[in-house]
Amino acid sequence: MRGVWISLNSRCWLSLFVFALMAAPLSLRVLAQTTEPFKADLVIRADQPQFTINRNIYGQFAEHLGRDIYDGLWVGENSPIPNTRGIRNDVVAALKRLNVPIVRWPGGCFADEYHWRDGIGPRDKRPQRLNTWWGGVIETNAFGTHEFMDFCELIGAEPYIAGNVGNGTPQEFLEWVEYMTSDSDSTLANLRRQNGREKPWKVKYFAVGNEPWGCGGNMRAEYYADLFRRYGTFIKSYSGNTVQRVASGGPPSDYNWTETLMNLAGRQMQGYSLHYYTLPTGNWDKKGSATEFGEAEWHKTLERTLRMDELIGKHTAVMDKHDPQKRVGLIVDEWGTWYDAAPGKDQGALYQQNSLRDAIAAAINLNIFQKHADRVQMANIAQMINVLQAMILTDKEKILLTPTYHVFEMYKVHQGATLIPTELTAPDYKFGQDSIPSLHASASRDAAGRLHLSIVNLDPNHAAQVTTKIMGMSAKNVTGRVLTAPVMNAINTFDKPETVKPAPFTSFKIEGDQIMLTLPSKSVVVLEFQ
Ligand code: AHR
């Protein structure tokens, strides 16, 4: 019998396979079909360079919320956790590897009840306040202006400050900016010196409130437009520091808010913000789980992530009407996935796990920001540590890097580079009645002339065979990395922190002027062409 099997030629094997397949139950046949790679074509227009990708698109956001600041980055000088002036060394080292360009602080909703004078001077004299937005916990104010600026300097990032319009005053705006940036002999500049900082800091971006339509004061667009003009007047430039005023956008798809703000206050602003979160269900009462999900939720989450493109496109169209020169930057200063807090976890702390699905969502968003980089001047993922779509999770002395962290690390090659257009032809990824693109790509060329491609395979079942052509360059070699995992909901845990991490990418063949790439299903790939 064994001999018979061995002597079967390949045609017989094929007939046997087809016969077995036809006889197999439908589910098995579907499985056999679904594991076939799909084919796609990609043209990279290196001959048509576009605009500069502002590196601030790779910005972060840290709010006094849950364990983002306290535990996450601040442990205090007396902590057994290794730190520099109270700031965790492990977190600083990890963030430095991302080249974080800018960090938004202190909120979020928290910003509109934060009074900056609470957070300066000797720490044991700082007031204890209630953090009414986030769990009613005690805010010790141990982390204030000096600590934040110290943190920014440690990781090499710029500060982006959000001022309090909700229950603060224009006087606080005036004084905070003077305290931080004036090199004069004024009482406020000397107070800063007395508190340990001789030289002023540079503060290039200052937001006039946060979500004034909601937690920032439940305002109407017309009323906020006037407040923006009033508060913005008292943000002044001292000692060679020039501050850009960022106005708050409305709810994600409120284009009328954008119209009103651009009309009434467009000339006074240098930036205009957009917030958009990806909820798998789109329902704030039952958002969906971070880790317990199947393909239906995977597909919906990515579909909702892709909405960012439409939102930016439509807000840009309104802004273009008032500001065709694109002087005002669109600042997407809150974005990311938002799930139900894990059962048993503090619901006010917004702690969530981060899976391969989040990595795919992050990569799509970053590709979208790059596509719109002529208008999008900054983006800040929410949030940096232990909150929402975080880079880093901490547990006392332990830290882990999330799949989203790895995307930011892989994508840093695009920071400050020139956008190169890409043309993709690929089948849709369908689930039930819904279709979304199966691939999502972006390319750039850096100052040293290196061409980088980031490409995402959204399909969790099929690899992609991508025939790639580069116009205006002939590639002799390809290097890069791939981020994927065996299952959609793979996560890193404190026990297994390296389940999802980048690996070298070697699945390519160069054939004449074409490069054949094979992308695994559910993967993010970043390549450099030489
Ligand atoms: O990022 C969490 C919260 O979401 C922010 O504080 C607020 O601005 C937004 O609604």
Residue 208 · residue 225 · CB < 8 Å? no
Residue 293: helix, strand or coil by DSSP? Answer: coil
Kindly state the DSSP code that residue 65 receives in the 8-state scheme: S
Query: By three-state DSSP, how is residue 221 classified?
Result: helix
Ligand 1, CB cutoff 6 Å, lining residues: 63, 107-109, 210-211, 334, 382-383, 388
Per-residue pLDDT, 135: 93
At 113-137, the pLDDT tens digits run 999 999 999 999 999 999 999 999 9
Give the distance (Å) from ligand 1 centre to CA of residue 382.
8
Q: Which residue has the higher pLDDT, 55 or 8?
A: 55
- Which tens digit of pLDDT belongs to each residue from 214-269? 999 999 999 999 999 999 999 999 999 999 999 999 999 999 999 999 999 999 99
pLDDT greater than 90 at residue 410: yes
State the DSSP code for 200: P
| Residue 439 pLDDT level (bands cut at 50, 70, 90) | very high
DSSP assignments along 440-479, one per residue: EEEEEE-TT--EEEEEEE--SS--EEEEEEEET---S-EE
- Mean pLDDT in residue range 288-304: 98
**Which residues, in sequence order, are bridge partners of residue 376?**
330
Q: For residue 94, what pLDDT band results from cuts at 50, 70 and 90? A: very high
Per the annotation, the verdict on 498 as an active-site residue is: no
Give pLDDT, residue 35.
75
> What average pLDDT does this structure show over 104-119?
98
pLDDT at 22 over 50: no
pTM beyond 0.85, yes or no:
yes
Residue owning the nearest CA to atom 2 of ligand 1: 108
Atom index in ligand 1 nearest the CA of residue 334 equals 1
Q: In whole angstroms, what is the distance from residue 41 CA to residue 7 CA?
A: 40
Instruction: Tell me: pLDDT of 18 over 70.
Output: no
Task: Give the mean model confidence (pLDDT) for residues 164-169.
Answer: 98
Q: What is the pLDDT of residue 34?
A: 52
